[in-house]
Amino acid sequence: MKQRSKNRYDSSAVLYILMILEKTPVSRSQLAGRLATLGINYTDRTINRHLLEAENFGFVFQRKGHEIQLVRTDVFSLSMMQLLARWYTESAVLRSCVVGTIDPVRVSHTMENNSISFLNNLVKAVLESRIIEFDYKPQTGETIRRLENFLKRGTISFFKKNATDYMRVKMLPHKLVFSGSDFTLLGETYFSEKDIRQRQYSVNGIKNLSLREPALKNLVINTKELYQYSLNIWINGILYDLEIEEKHPTGESSRKKIKVNGEAEILSYAASKLGNLKILNPPPALVAKARETPGLCEMIFYQKDI
């Protein structure tokens, strides 16, 4: 394994240091020894510098005698995403595996119940083209309804009880995808050894993640083409041709026609404009979907269309 530089700051090495320190208290010499097994040969001085950098991100260490241990605090998840964003700026390889912009503050909620090891395994799986397995809970009503229909027809059987429970997923991730407060994995899912399909999963719904063996990619995923009609990052929704009217801060309004992939996306996007965006002549299915959220129809449609 290639040795790391003893002097250059390395966010990926900091991640390994944090992984070690979150599991159990260790001394400096023990920490150096465990890093060495990973091909990271750091002096005490370099380790100290990296620990200081970690503290600058908001990580907190408990020191007792010669031992150090990472302590989980209220800003732990934010610190994790700040570290990932820093790594993104340092590594061209990581940048090639990321779609969108990492906003640590908005996306930190996805790490609230997760560990440093969890984040490392996500990144490692994408960088090293390794299969992962995890339990997944669908995150949108649209997805849950679709899966419930599959269950009724007997098309799928990998839920423990029903479509609101976790399902087991075997996946080879291609990309880490970020948009606003959303963080998803995009890649190929193994429904069987011969049935491999393009899928994406919200990190919010993932638990019990296991890192498996390296594998060759079976599918070519063109993210520019995939997300061309996506306002955020969700895919596989109903494609709508819509006309929208947006009121600008100057008081002027403008109209334009757009293609939108998915009901949930356009409704969420319109609602985020706080009454400054109206969908003109909306299709009945979109109005029906909006009625599920009290007050939404009045905010994003004109009265004549409700």
Same domain? 101 vs 199: yes
Per-residue pLDDT, averaged over 84-88, amounts to 95
Least reliable range by pLDDT among 203-212, 262-271, 276-285: 262-271
Q: In sequence order, what are the beta bridge partners of 99?
A: 177
Per-residue pLDDT, averaged over 189-205, amounts to 91
**pLDDT tier, 159 (very low <50, low <70, confident <90, very high otherwise):** very low
The pLDDT of residue 31 is above 90: yes
Q: Among all chains, which residue has been given the structure tokens 């790391």? A: 4
Domain of 62 in residue numbering reads as 11-71
Same domain? 254 vs 285: yes
Which element (helix H / strand E) includes 209? Answer: strand 206-214
Average pLDDT, the chain: 88
Same domain? 255 vs 160: no
Q: What pLDDT score was predicted for residue 238?
A: 79
110, two tokens: 């996805």
Which amino acid makes up residue 271? Answer: A
Distance in angstroms (rounded) separating the CA atoms of residues 207 and 113 = 9
140, two tokens: 């949108």
209, two tokens: 């993640």
**pLDDT tier, 1 (very low <50, low <70, confident <90, very high otherwise):** very low
65-81: pLDDT as tens digits? 999 999 999 999 999 99
Same domain? 81 vs 97: yes
Same domain? 67 vs 82: no
Same domain? 49 vs 93: no
The pLDDT of residue 236 is above 70: no
- 156 vs 168: which has the higher pLDDT: 168
**pLDDT tier, 142 (very low <50, low <70, confident <90, very high otherwise):** low
**pLDDT tier, 6 (very low <50, low <70, confident <90, very high otherwise):** very low
Beta pairing, strands 98-99 & 167-179: parallel
- The order of strands in the sheet holding 253-261 is 253-261, 239-247, 277-280
Q: What is the 3-state secondary structure (H, E, C) of 156-202?
A: CCCECCCCCCCEEEEEEEEEEEEECCEEEEEEEEECCCCCEEEEEEE
Report the interhelical angle of 28-37 vs 11-23 (nearest 10°).
120
Q: Using alpha carbons, list the distances in angstroms from residue 248 to 239, 245, 258, 274.
A: 26, 10, 18, 12
The pLDDT of residue 120 is above 90: yes
Same domain? 93 vs 169: yes
Q: The domain that contains 31 carries what CATH number?
A: 1.10.10.10
Q: Is there a contact between 271 and 296 (Cβ–Cβ < 8 Å)?
A: yes
Residues 6+ apart with CB under 8 A from 24: 69
**pLDDT tier, 61 (very low <50, low <70, confident <90, very high otherwise):** very high
Helical segments of the chain, H only: 11-23, 28-37, 44-56, 76-90, 92-96, 104-107, 116-127, 141-153, 223-226, 263-272, 284-290, 296-300
Our count of domains for the chain comes to: 3
234, two tokens: 């969700």
Same domain? 113 vs 160: yes
Per-residue pLDDT, averaged over 195-217, amounts to 94
Helical segments of 202-259, H only: 223-226
Q: What pLDDT score was predicted for residue 167?
A: 84
Least reliable range by pLDDT among 49-58, 105-114, 220-229, 257-266: 257-266
Same domain? 41 vs 122: no
User: Would you tell me how many other CB atoms lie within 10 Å of the CB of residue 116?
Assistant: 25
